Amino acid sequence: MSKRSNLKGIIAAVDRHKSPIWEAPSQEFPPSVRLDFEGLTRFEILRDQYQHWGVHFKNAIAVSPSNPAYPPHSGEIVIMGAPKSGFLELTFDRPVEFVVGYVTSSRLTAMSAYNGCGETIARNQLSAANLANSNSSVQPNHPLSVRAPDIQRVTFYAFDGELVVDDISFGY
């Protein structure tokens, strides 16, 4: 049985020794990857920790929320937009077809996908803020997703607010 067939629900971990956890020829990728962020340390700035999975982060920091309004979807660690509040970005080494993240936000949050030319090709948003214990119609950790061919970059943006994202998945 090939390694690829065993990777259906693969979880991507941070490898502190910079060697790929999933070893395959460079042109072969798993069908989907889920980042759970538990291998990160609190207040670690995300950039290239998951580069061997083909994804890079901008304006993201790992936190263990002390505010119960921002519960993690799983585990203890989530990522938050910082230092610029309410915004985070992912870029992909090769195009993906979908991206999903579990979002909790103090404001309406939009998720946009862009192609290699920087054009918006897909967009989705929360209908309202969704902090825990806020009487919102949207539950915390609401899955927000985009799907389109040729996604090269994705942004999450909470308009004048704070957001955390957990358990991001993407696939080819």
Amino acid 9: pLDDT: 56
Amino acid 29: pLDDT: 52
Residue 147 tokens, joined: 């799907």
pTM, rounded to two decimals: 0.85
Reported as a single tens digit per residue, the pLDDT across 135-151 is 999 999 999 999 999 99
Q: Averaged over 71-94, what is the pLDDT?
A: 96
- 73 pLDDT band (50/70/90 cuts)? very high
- 77 pLDDT band (50/70/90 cuts)? very high
CA separation for the pair 143, 103 (Å, rounded)? 6
- 31 pLDDT band (50/70/90 cuts)? confident
**Residue entry with tokens 């955390």:** 164
Q: What is the DSSP string of the chain?
A: --TGGG-TT-EE---TT---SS---TT---SEEEE--TTSPTTPEESSTTGGGTEEEESEEEE--SSTTS--SSSS-EEEETTTTTEEEEEEEEEEEEEEEEEEESS-EEEEEE-TTS-EEEEEE-SS---TTS--SS-SSEEEEEEEEEEEEEEEEETTS-EEEEEEEEE-
Q: Chain-wide mean pLDDT for the chain?
A: 87
- 13 pLDDT band (50/70/90 cuts)? low
Strand partners, 80: 61, 164
Give the angle subtended at the CA of 43 by the CAs of 38 and 46, to the nearest 5°: 70
Q: Report whether 71 contacts 116 (CB < 8 A).
A: no
Report residue 88 CA to chain centroid gap.
Answer: 9
- Asked whether residue 1 carries a pLDDT value surpassing 70, the answer given is no
Most confident of 7-21, 23-37, 86-100: 86-100
Amino acid 86: pLDDT: 93
More confident residue, 43 or 30: 43
